[in-house]
Amino acid sequence: MKPRAAQLKPSARPRHPAHPESLDLRSQSLVICLGPGGVGKTTISAALAVRAAVIGCAVDVMTVDPAPRLLDALGLGADSSEPVEVQLEGIAHARRGGGSGHARLRALRLDPKRTFDSIVARYALSDAARDTILENRIYRNLSGALAGVADYMAMEKLLELAANPSTDLLVLDTPPAAEALDFLDAPRRLLELLNSRAVSLLGAPAGLFRSRLRMVDIAARAVLAAFDRVTGLNLLSDVQSFVRSFDGMYEGFSARAALAQDKLRAPDTAIVIVTTAESSRIAQAREFIGALERGGLRVAAMVVNRVIAELPDAAELASARIAPSLKRKLKRNLADYAALKTREQVSLSALRNSLPGGAVLMVAPDLGREPRTIADLAEIGRSLRAG
């Protein structure tokens, strides 16, 4: 077996130019992991980050909803919304040679509410304007995990972290998504709400501005008013004051969103889709790829997590000196897992056939246990291989 590190070197030549062997972490500045829930996205994000640190990069990894064990592994507390240095001792001799010449790993947890509050504080024109926003009912719902705000905040935090010149690579874990673009599209959705002419004019007295209002806006305003009356939500005034309180802040928001969009399309940004070999997940992953391509975004790699590790050799059993009954059981056990492996291969080849050009397919073999330590994450990172 050749050393895994060699595959990650920039000099390693891919065998097929259309589908490189491995994701070259050293030439990326941002890696974004997307995928459905329950596939181990956070684990893979952390494993990629540990791997990059081991090969000499200064890395930050931002997780969104880590399992308690993984939090422990990364040394994160419940309240680590600022980067915390992760101890890599005993993992590998973190070699020098990253862009900054200083290998390290820092981890942090995204706190969407706090991030949003701090952005509002940054762009608000006055303290009074800031307080009005923070107390608004719509804002409170927006900032509480609903309507993709966590996604938007991850993008915001990403820009903040990416601006740090001492960081070579930022690895971003994302919230579980049903649709690929949920996450990447969040800034645009929020901006459209803030910029919506109809919403901002909802409260304008009839007659005023009318000439500038399109029919569409008038209709929207009418239906919203009707909706409010029937449902008893009395939301109009809240929506309106929310949007109005963003007056003057819109420029700041939209400039940031544009930056984030540029960052996503930068040549040194790699979008990685994480999935498992289960056929329904593979189908979902393929939908993700399609949606990203339609959105003009390129998928750099697919990681299939928890694939069944290499099975032992059946021939070993023939010569083994054990009871025949035990031998029969071992044969059956092997046949059972071989059947699962076959199922997995069918899914993987379907995925391979629909892989976009230039994308890498990698598999992460199942550790047989939940990753609990940095060493486990390093092992997953090291064992990532072409699938």
Partner 1 sequence: MTLPRVLFVTGKGGTGKSTVAAALAIALSRRRPTTLADLDRRLSAAAALGAVLEDSATVKVTGSLDAVALTPRAELEAFIERIVPIRAISRRMLRSRTFGYVTAALPGLEAFLLLERLRIMAGDAALEDRYLVIDAPASGSAVELLSVSSGVKGIAPGGTLNRLADSVDSFLTDATRFGAIVTMTPEDLAVREALEIAATMRERLGIVTVAAIMNCVPDLLFDTSELAALNSLGGHARLAVRRNAAHQQAALAAPRFAAAGIPTFSLPMMFTPAMGPAEVEKLGRVLDRELLDR
Chain positions 28 to 57 lying near partner 1, rule: CB under 8 A, are 36-39
Of residues 98 and 175, the one with the C-beta less far from partner 1: 175
334 makes contact with partner 1 (CB under 8 A): yes
Of residues 37 and 77, the one with the C-beta less far from partner 1: 37
Site string for partner 1, 60-79 (x = CB under 8 A): -----x-x-x----------
Which residue among 71, 84, 159, 193 contacts partner 1 (CB under 8 A)? 193
The owner of tokens 């050393």 is 3
326 makes contact with partner 1 (CB under 8 A): yes
Helix (H, G, I), strand (E, B) or coil at 185: coil
Q: How many angstroms separate the CA atoms of 57 and 166, rounded?
A: 10
225 makes contact with partner 1 (CB under 8 A): no
Q: How many angstroms separate the CA atoms of 101 and 283, rounded?
A: 41
Which residue among 87, 333, 349, 354 contacts partner 1 (CB under 8 A)? 333
283 makes contact with partner 1 (CB under 8 A): yes
Of residues 63 and 269, the one with the C-beta less far from partner 1: 63
The owner of tokens 């980067």 is 83
DSSP string, 108-145: EE--HHHHHHHHHHHH-SSHHHHHHHHH-HHHHHHHTT
The encoded tokens of residue 335 equal: 């046949």
Closest distance of CB 59 from partner 1, Å = 25
Q: How many angstroms separate the CA atoms of 375 and 326, rounded?
A: 34
226 makes contact with partner 1 (CB under 8 A): yes
Which residue among 164, 254, 261, 279 contacts partner 1 (CB under 8 A)? 279
Contact 158, 263 (CB under 8 A): yes
Size of the site for partner 1 (CB under 8 A): 72
Helix (H, G, I), strand (E, B) or coil at 9: coil
Which residue among 322, 349, 350, 354 contacts partner 1 (CB under 8 A)? 322
Which residue among 213, 278, 291, 352 contacts partner 1 (CB under 8 A)? 278
293 makes contact with partner 1 (CB under 8 A): no
User: Which region among 56-64, 76-84, 315-323, 377-385 touches partner 1 (by CB under 8 A)?
Assistant: 315-323
332 makes contact with partner 1 (CB under 8 A): yes
User: Which region among 54-62, 81-89, 124-132, 333-341 touches partner 1 (by CB under 8 A)?
Assistant: 333-341
Q: How far does CA 84 lie from the centroid of its chain?
A: 19
1 makes contact with partner 1 (CB under 8 A): no
- Which residues is 361 bridged to in the sheet? 302
SS3 content of the chain, % helix, strand, coil (to 5): 50, 15, 35
User: Which region among 6-14, 98-106, 212-220, 349-357 touches partner 1 (by CB under 8 A)?
Assistant: 212-220
Phi-psi region of 145 (alpha: psi -120 to 50; beta: other; left: phi over 0): left
Closest distance of CB 317 from partner 1, Å = 7
Q: How many angstroms separate the CA atoms of 385 and 375, rounded?
A: 18
User: Which region among 73-81, 204-212, 331-339, 374-382 touches partner 1 (by CB under 8 A)?
Assistant: 331-339
- Cβ contacts of residue 256 below 8 Å, gap of 6+? 119, 156, 159, 187
386 makes contact with partner 1 (CB under 8 A): no
Of residues 117 and 278, the one with the C-beta less far from partner 1: 278
Q: How many angstroms separate the CA atoms of 181 and 295, rounded?
A: 8
Alpha-carbon dihedral angle through residues 374, 377, 382, 387, given to the nearest 10 degrees:
180
Closest distance of CB 11 from partner 1, Å = 34
Alpha-carbon dihedral angle through residues 249, 253, 258, 261, given to the nearest 10 degrees:
-170
Of residues 57 and 150, the one with the C-beta less far from partner 1: 150
141 makes contact with partner 1 (CB under 8 A): yes
Q: How many angstroms separate the CA atoms of 261 and 190, rounded?
A: 14
Of residues 62 and 142, the one with the C-beta less far from partner 1: 142
The interface with partner 1 within residues 238-277 (CB under 8 A) comprises 239, 276
The encoded tokens of residue 269 equal: 């940004």
